[in-house]
Amino acid sequence: MIRLGLLAIGLAFASAPVQAEDPPAKVSTLVVFGDDACPRSAADEIVVCARQPESERYRIPKALRGRKYNAARDGSWMGTARVLENVSRDGRPGSCSPVGAYGQTGCFRQFLEANRP
């Protein structure tokens, strides 16, 4: 008889609907440095804090520190202009190139420079 009563109570709890809580509307992820306090979360948000040492506060992020030097992106305007001039040199007069107007005019000059005694 006791077993039957316990079984009825167990079935009553098992059939009760379980209501899930709604997830919070806002999740904030921050990086705090040194001994700075992590802000408190409100009722409808979750705050996740990552702690970094104080020495990293004003440094360039690690993802950007190891970039290789690229003259077009990181160089001076003068260097970029020089590269563009060299790229377009083939079509200019005196270049000894079949491309561009008067490109053939530099062929004789190049021939003389190559055969100079």
- Per-residue pLDDT at 107: 82
The answer to whether 31 touches 47, Cβ cutoff 8 Å, is no
Residues 6+ apart with CB under 8 A from 72: 80, 83
H-only helix segments in 1-117: 2-14, 62-65, 71-74, 77-87, 107-114
Across all residues in the chain, what is the average pLDDT? 77
Return the higher-pLDDT residue of 34 and 25. Answer: 34
- Per-residue pLDDT at 49: 93
CB-count burial class (<10 Å; 0-12, 13-18, 19+) for 95: buried
- Per-residue pLDDT at 11: 52
Q: Per-residue pLDDT tens for 93-108?
A: 777 777 766 667 778 8
- Per-residue pLDDT at 54: 93
H-only helix segments in 15-115: 62-65, 71-74, 77-87, 107-114
The answer to whether 50 touches 31, Cβ cutoff 8 Å, is yes
Amino acid at 47: V
Q: Per-residue pLDDT tens for 53-70?
A: 999 888 888 887 887 877
- Per-residue pLDDT at 84: 79
With a pLDDT cut of 70, the percent of the chain lying above it is 74
